[in-house]
Amino acid sequence: MPIYDQSYRPYRGALTSHTWRWWTITQAGLMQHLSRRLTLIFLFVAIIPAIVQGVIIWFSHQVTSQQNLFTVDPAFFRNFLWMQGPFLMLVCVWPGATLIARDLKTNAIQLYLSRPLTRTDYVLGKFGIVAGVAMLLLPVPALLLFIMEIGLSTDTAFLARYFWIPFAILGYSAVVITGAALLSLALSSITRSGRYAGLLFFALVICSRIAAGVATLLTQSHAWNVLSIGSLMDQVGALFFGGETEYGMHPVPAAFMYALLVSACLLILRRRVKAVEIVT
């Protein structure tokens, strides 16, 4: 005879604060994504450039005669972050572009928003999933490389001269991750198919690059690089490293275009993430 009958009873326990409810969405999404074998393989591949850079740092400290060939300076870290760009793009396609599209397909948004959650909590939670994976690819390995360089240095000259690099790494990462993640989420919110959203993301990034290249070629002006989403984000991020890039864009229009892109993404998310879709 059971001593406790499984039945319904009111909940009288404590409740957590509303402030961090979005983190529950991020946490669950990250756990679900990182438990996949394909994700782990992807992360392993994406970390290879960091391993190579680590070997370069180690090598630069071992072979003194080769020091001029392997200089560890701000450009070294900026280039590393730039090299991770394609991996960031893949993260934005998967899981990024699937996150809201799948919820739209299965009507899950109504389940989320019938809880004490705001639409901002929901979007922030989904953003956290993309940002969480992206952080493993950009700032985390870059900061580890910085620590490695300090650890292998025999004096404090590098740290004294480049103490600002960790902030630059974080600033650059924040800019590119925020822009790319919001774009992928905005595209994800306009379709019920994660596949189409992913393709749309690819198409936008590549087509904008082609359009910027053609416009630059025709007008001989680098100002058109602001049309390229990838170059735009790299340019704005590079401001944290002094602003020097090969795109030749002026930082002000680049920052303006970036703000415009982020605002457009937020506007799309605001319009599309709703508990009820009203068809009139």
User: Which parts of this chain interact with another protein (CB under 8 A)?
Assistant: 6-18, 21, 24-25, 28, 32, 102-103, 105-108, 110-118, 274-276, 278-280
Tokens standing for 13?
A: 């326990």
Q: Cβ(185)–Cβ(154) under 8 Å? A: no
CB of 76 to another protein, least distance (A): 40
Measured from the CB atom, the residue of 23 and 70 that comes closer to another protein is 23
Shortest distance in whole angstroms from residue 247 CB to another protein: 39
Nearer to another protein, 71 or 107 (CB): 107
**DSSP letters spanning 235-249:** HHHHGGGTS--TT--
CA nearest to 28, candidates 177, 129, 117: 129
User: Smallest distance from the beta carbon of 18 to another protein, in angstroms?
Assistant: 7
Nearer to another protein, 122 or 146 (CB): 122
Tokens representing 248 are 């030749």
In the complex with another protein, which residue's Cβ is closer, 17 or 64?
Answer: 17
Residues in the chain: 280
CB of 137 to another protein, least distance (A): 23
Complex with another protein: residue 18 or 250, whichever CB lies closer: 18
The one-letter code for the residue type at 250 is H
Nearer to another protein, 136 or 275 (CB): 275
| Burial profile 174-207: b = 16 or more Cβ within 10 angstroms, e = fewer | bbbbbbbbbbbbbbbbbbbbbeebbebbeeebee
CB atoms closer than 10 angstroms to residue 142: 25
Shortest Cβ distance from residue 202 to another protein (Å)? 22
- Alpha carbon of 212 to those of 85, 199, 205, 207, 261: distances in Å? 18, 20, 11, 8, 16
Count of H-run helices and E-run strands, the chain: 14, 0
Q: In the complex, what is the shortest distance from the CB of residue 104 to another protein, in angstroms, rounded to a whole number?
A: 11
